């Protein structure tokens, strides 16, 4: 199974796996033999003339009255359920959807999907982002060329601030932001962070903008309805609306940036160009930032989004400082250490320490090369992905309790986290 960020395209797709038989067989079991059985003819009886007609009329009248009573009794229940959407009810030709945030109080015609209100309200906050760079080639002549495009959404209308994925704006020499009102304006990167795949962009022409309403992704449950809005394929398909459900809320991907989060998995269609766009609940609140999808051959309906509640601290740092400070144990991990090797050596699952930064937090706490980190603050660490996620929720200077394995014994120590410094 392979995962790619939205602006990444694999050179070749792997062949599809086939089963042992290579085909399916459908077997219909023969049913028991049936034969017609003649029923005995009713015995003739004698009825007085005239009574049959009167009885038939009386019976028909009674049935009609009974049917009317049943209809009057059940109809209010049936139609009330049909015209109530998301807890709202109404009369006449409209339905009031009880929403909060961006969508509140939208009226829909009978039979109209609640997604209409979400799309109309949130669509105004979604932008297209075109990344231009100088490409030195015989064909481009060194001119600025659009190398990729993606999506974003306005988080601060007055300031003109937009949230998107870092890979959408990475290495951009020029950014063109396409607004919902048809304007194309200049944008520039306030700050980007590859480790979380998040970025903030600013535009100066902030008149008439509308900001998205943010929700709480920590309360999401599998099965909830969601709407994805973005620009798959660029501005030609601007603000495309797709919908589906939350398939899971705790997925890890081995992608730089995405590894920091427990991602939201959804079956709402997410395509190249959707990156950075919002994933929205039926209250019109942004609960995720679309970032990646499973593009492996044979897989459909597996898109992923960064939870907005987890992303917000990063976004805040980018707005305030233009950069993000990431905590570190100040050790290096040998990624070759896996479950199979641990089982062979009869060692626990965890992260194998290949080296320790001299005078770093782990060094001062007594952790040494060859130790295996098995838990942080009592939460099990199976691999480096889990370790990255657990540390992401902390900040430099925090103290964490580290459980590690050495020479057949388990030890506990407290480590003051340092800071990752990019070279």
Q: What is the pLDDT of residues 242-275, one digit of tens each?
A: 999 999 887 766 655 555 678 899 988 887 788 8
Q: How many residues does the chain have?
A: 423
Q: Which CATH architecture has domain 214-321?
A: Beta Barrel (2.40)
Of 84 and 350, which is predicted with more confidence? Answer: 350
Chain segment 87-145, per-residue pLDDT in tens: 333 333 222 222 344 454 445 565 567 889 889 889 999 999 999 998 776 665 668 88
Start-to-end Cα distance in the chain: 32
Beta strands in 45-170 (DSSP E): 94-96, 107-109, 126-134, 144-156, 161-164
Chain segment 187-230, per-residue pLDDT in tens: 999 999 988 899 999 999 888 899 999 999 989 899 999 999 99
Chain segment 35-66, per-residue pLDDT in tens: 333 334 444 444 444 455 455 555 555 555 65
CA distance 115 to 121: 10
Chain segment 337-347, per-residue pLDDT in tens: 999 999 999 99
Q: What are phi and psi of 97, to 5 degrees?
A: -90, 125
Contact status, residue 332 vs residue 354, Cβ threshold 8 Å:
yes
Equal fold, 214-321 vs 327-419 = no
Which segments of 239-321 does DSSP mark as H helices, in order? 308-321
CATH class of 122-203: mainly beta
Which pLDDT value is given to residue 155? 95
Q: Based on the residue annotation, tell me whether 167 is a catalytic residue of this protein.
A: yes
Residue 319 DSSP SS3: helix
CA distance 404 to 409: 8
Which pLDDT value is given to residue 273? 82
Measured over the CA atoms of residue 395, residue 396, residue 397 and residue 403, the dihedral's sign is positive
Contact status, residue 384 vs residue 335, Cβ threshold 8 Å:
yes
Q: What are phi and psi of 62, to 5 degrees?
A: -65, -40
Domain extents in the chain: 57-112, 122-203, 214-321, 327-419
Predicted confidence (pLDDT) at residue 180 exceeds the cutoff of 70: yes
Which pLDDT value is given to residue 332? 94
Predicted confidence (pLDDT) at residue 352 exceeds the cutoff of 90: yes
For domain 327-419, give the CATH superfamily: PDZ domain (2.30.42.10)
Which pLDDT value is given to residue 63? 59
Of 379 and 48, which is predicted with more confidence? Answer: 379
Contact status, residue 125 vs residue 210, Cβ threshold 8 Å:
yes
Contact status, residue 281 vs residue 225, Cβ threshold 8 Å:
yes
Which pLDDT value is given to residue 238? 80
Which segments of 225-303 does DSSP mark as H helices, in order? none
Q: Among all chains, which residue has been given the structure tokens 């593009």?
A: 295
Greatest mean pLDDT among 15-19, 71-75, 128-132 = 128-132
**Catalytic residue (one of 193, 197, 283, 371):** 197
The string of DSSP codes covering 184-212 is EEEEEEEEEETTTTEEEEEES--TT--PP
Q: Per-residue confidence at 422, pLDDT binned at 50, 70, 90?
A: low
Q: Per-residue confidence at 398, pLDDT binned at 50, 70, 90?
A: very high
Q: What is the DSSP letter of 169?
A: H
CA distance 225 to 220: 10
**Burial label, 60 (beta-carbon count in 10 A; 0-12, 13-18, 19+):** exposed
Which pLDDT value is given to residue 214? 95
**Catalytic residue (one of 148, 151, 167, 193):** 167
Quote the mean pLDDT of the chain: 76
Which pLDDT value is given to residue 389? 82
Contact status, residue 251 vs residue 1, Cβ threshold 8 Å:
no
Q: Based on the residue annotation, tell me whether 326 is a catalytic residue of this protein.
A: no
Chain segment 277-330, per-residue pLDDT in tens: 999 999 999 999 998 655 554 556 678 899 999 899 999 999 999 999 999 999
Contact status, residue 168 vs residue 148, Cβ threshold 8 Å:
yes
**Catalytic residue (one of 149, 151, 178, 275):** 275
């Amino acid at each position: 199974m392979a995962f790619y960020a939205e602006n990444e395209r694999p050179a070749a797709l792997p062949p599809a796996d086939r089963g042992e038989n290579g085909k399916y067989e459908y077997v219909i079991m023969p049913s028991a033999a049936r034969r017609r059985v003649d029923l005995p003819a009713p015995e003739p009886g004698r009825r007085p003339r005239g009574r049959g007609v009167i009885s038939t009329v009386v019976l028909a009248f009674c049935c009609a009255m009974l049917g009317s009573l049943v209809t009057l009794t059940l109809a209010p229940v049936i139609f009330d359920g049909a015209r109530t959407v998301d807890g709202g009810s109404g009369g006449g030709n409209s339905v009031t959807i009880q929403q909060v945030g961006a969508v509140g109080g939208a009226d829909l015609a009978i039979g109209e999907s609640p997604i209409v209100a979400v799309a109309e309200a949130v669509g105004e906050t979604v932008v297209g982002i075109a990344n231009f760079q100088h490409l030195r080639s015989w064909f481009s002549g060194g001119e600025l060329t659009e190398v990729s495009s993606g999506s974003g959404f306005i988080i601060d209308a007055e300031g003109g601030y937009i949230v998107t994925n870092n890979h959408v704006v990475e290495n951009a020499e020029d950014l063109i932001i396409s607004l919902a009102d048809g304007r194309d304006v200049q944008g520039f990167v306030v700050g980007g962070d590859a480790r979380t795949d998040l970025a903030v962009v600013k535009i100066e022409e902030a008149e008439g903008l509308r900001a998205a309403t943010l929700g709480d992704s920590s309360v999401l449950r599998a099965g909830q309805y969601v709407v994805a809005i973005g620009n798959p394929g660029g501005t030609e398909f601007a603000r495309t609306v797709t919908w589906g459900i939350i398939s899971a809320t705790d997925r890890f991907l081995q992608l730089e940036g995405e590894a920091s989060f427990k991602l939201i998995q959804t079956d709402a269609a997410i395509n190249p160009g959707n990156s950075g766009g919002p994933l929205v609940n039926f209250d019109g609140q942004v609960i995720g930032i679309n970032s990646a999808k499973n593009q492996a051959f044979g897989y459909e309906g597996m898109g992923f989004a960064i939870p907005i509640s987890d992303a917000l601290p990063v976004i805040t740092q980018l707005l305030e400082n233009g950069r993000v400070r990431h905590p570190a144990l100040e050790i290096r991990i040998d990624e070759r250490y896996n479950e199979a090797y641990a089982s062979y050596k009869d060692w626990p699952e965890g992260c194998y320490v290949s080296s320790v930064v001299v005078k770093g937090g782990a060094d001062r706490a007594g952790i040494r090369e060859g130790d295996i980190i098995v838990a942080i603050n009592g939460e099990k660490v199976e691999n480096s992905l889990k370790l990255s996620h657990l540390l992401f929720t902390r900040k430099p200077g925090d103290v964490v309790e580290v459980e590690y394995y050495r020479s057949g014994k388990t030890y506990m120590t407290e480590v003051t986290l340092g800071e990752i410094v990019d070279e």
